[in-house]
């Protein structure tokens, strides 16, 4: 990560208004925004004013080809017409918040079940963090156990039970590949042995942990394709191995498909890798930019909510406007499934090949990794064949180099997040010509910063 010496970013004519608005915001919003990830000290000032399709505009009038897509939710791009029409109709004809069960909520649940049949019954929430917190309670209630197994580099929201220090320095990680999860922020109580963090893609170490603690493990939660340390796919046999071991010990296998759901394929990672979890969480892509998540499981497991003793609620859970947006997105994904996912895969493949070609020509060590419409470019300190876990990314990747490269790309009208732990998220709104244009600008950005990389 960048040192404090980089907290002062040069303001140019390109971002003068954004800088002024951020300074104004800091007088009312802590740090200038309601998410730290949007106002990191090494980010160039960018206050967004609007988005359309694959493009974003800032307060200074600059246009960007947006490869971030609001951290993944905008699978149909900015302001898709189907979502605008559905939301407008819901607000104008039926209302935004009715305070009672609605048919639209049932329809959305039925459509999710079509793609995620493991979610036999589900509940809606307002964010991935909320849904995951409830999923952990669900696992603990159903099994009568408390312990949760996590994986290094995986992020499951900021709730008390699972917010680990997912980007911990290597010096803080245990040599044996597992240990008590490190609390992710000040103000948390120690997680102790109620949360154990294990090295990703290390089935042997996971089996050892389960031999030690398996009889007390309520749930094993993971991103089935890691997306919070860059894109790191599961190695062959890893997910199947987790499934077998959790069954042996009667522990819940919990797939956090907040990122992977509807992005690595219509049925998420569980469809792609043919591994069925006990509990699933989905969010982001199916909301079309509206705040929504769902957690679900078999009827037997969810019965602890239906008939008690587990409580789940939320005034805005299943909000009618949000459901209207979600139904519009799901209808698009269901009716146009073959064409949509063919396009998403083609555009993402093309982007990754183009990024790799640029870096190859400039002899810049790198790796691109992607699954479906989730992609990462890793700039490395030397040539490596693959990055298979969080420790690999920490060991081999050059974060300073990536920040310089990102800033140069942003100044040329292409936006992706400056933290290389954050993936890129192509959408259906991105065309091959958009990617060609982005790659031309990215190549110019790379040439501009190449001297600092040697």
What are the residue numbers of the active site?
155, 256, 284
CA angle centred on 282, ends 237 and 298, rounded to 5°: 75
| CB-facing half-sphere around the CA of 348: CA atoms within 13 A | 28
349 burial via Cβ count (<10 Å: 0-12, 13-18, 19+): middle
Nearest 10 degrees: CA dihedral of 390, 286, 73, 48? -160
Q: State the first-to-last Cα distance of the chain, in angstroms, to the nearest integer.
A: 19
Cα 315 from Cα 326, distance rounded (Å): 18
Q: Which residues contact 212 (CB under 8 A, 6 or more apart)?
A: none
Residues found in the chain: 454
For residue 358, give both structure tokens. 């640029």
**Rounded Cα–Cα distance for residues 371 and 272 (Å):** 10
Count of Cβ atoms closer than 10 Å to residue 295 Cβ: 29
Long-range contacts: 393-402, Cβ < 8 Å, 24+? Answer: 393/153, 393/229, 393/230, 393/232, 393/421, 394/169, 394/170, 395/170, 397/230, 399/1, 399/2, 400/2, 401/449, 401/452, 401/453
CB 182 within 8 A of CB 173: no
């Amino acid at each position: 990560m960048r040192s404090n010496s980089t907290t002062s970013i040069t303001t140019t004519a390109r971002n003068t208004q954004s800088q002024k608005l951020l300074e104004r915001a800091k007088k009312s919003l802590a740090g200038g925004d309601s998410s730290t990830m949007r106002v990191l000290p090494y980010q160039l000032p960018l206050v967004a004013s609007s988005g359309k399709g694959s493009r974003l505009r800032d307060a200074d009038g600059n246009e960007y080809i947006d490869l971030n897509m609001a951290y993944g939710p905008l699978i149909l791009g900015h302001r898709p017409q189907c979502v605008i029409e559905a939301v407008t109709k819901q607000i104008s004809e039926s209302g935004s918040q009715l305070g009672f069960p609605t048919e639209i909520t049932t329809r959305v649940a039925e459509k999710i079940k079509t793609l995620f049949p493991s979610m036999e019954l589900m509940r809606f929430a307002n964010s991935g963090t909320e849904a995951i917190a409830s999923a952990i309670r669900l696992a603990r209630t159903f099994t009568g156990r408390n312990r949760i197994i996590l994986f290094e580099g995986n992020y499951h929201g900021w709730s008390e039970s699972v917010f680990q220090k997912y980007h911990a320095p290597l010096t803080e990680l245990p040599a044996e590949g597992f240990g008590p999860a490190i609390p992710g922020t000040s103000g948390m109580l120690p997680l102790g042995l109620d949360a154990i963090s294990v090295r990703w893609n290390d089935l042997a170490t996971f089996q050892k942990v389960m031999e030690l603690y398996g009889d007390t493990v309520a749930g094993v939660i993971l991103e089935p394709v890691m997306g919070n340390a860059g894109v790191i796919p599961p190695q062959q046999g890893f997910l199947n191995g987790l499934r077998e071991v959790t069954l042996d010990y009667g522990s819940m296998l919990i797939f956090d498909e907040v990122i992977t759901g509807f992005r690595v394929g219509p049925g998420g990672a569980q469809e792609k890798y043919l591994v069925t979890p006990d509990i699933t969480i989905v969010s982001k892509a199916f909301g079309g930019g509206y705040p929504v998540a769902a957690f679900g499981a078999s009827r037997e497991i969810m019965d602890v909510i239906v008939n008690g003793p587990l409580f789940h609620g939320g005034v805005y859970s299943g909000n009618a406007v949000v459901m209207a947006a979600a139904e519009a997105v799901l209808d698009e994904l269901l009716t146009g499934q073959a064409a949509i996912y063919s396009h998403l895969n083609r555009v993402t493949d093309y982007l990754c090949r183009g990024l790799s070609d640029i870096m190859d020509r400039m002899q810049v060590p790198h790796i691109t990794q992607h699954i479906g419409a989730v992609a990462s470019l890793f700039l490395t300190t030397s040539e490596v064949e693959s990055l298979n876990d969080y420790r690999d990314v920490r060991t081999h990747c050059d974060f300073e180099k990536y920040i310089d490269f990102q800033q140069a790309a942003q100044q040329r009208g292409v936006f992706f997040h400056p933290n290389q732990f954050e993936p890129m998220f192509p959408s259906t709104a991105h065309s091959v010509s958009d990617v060609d244009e982005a790659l031309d600008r990215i190549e110019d950005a790379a040439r501009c910063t190449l001297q600092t990389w040697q």
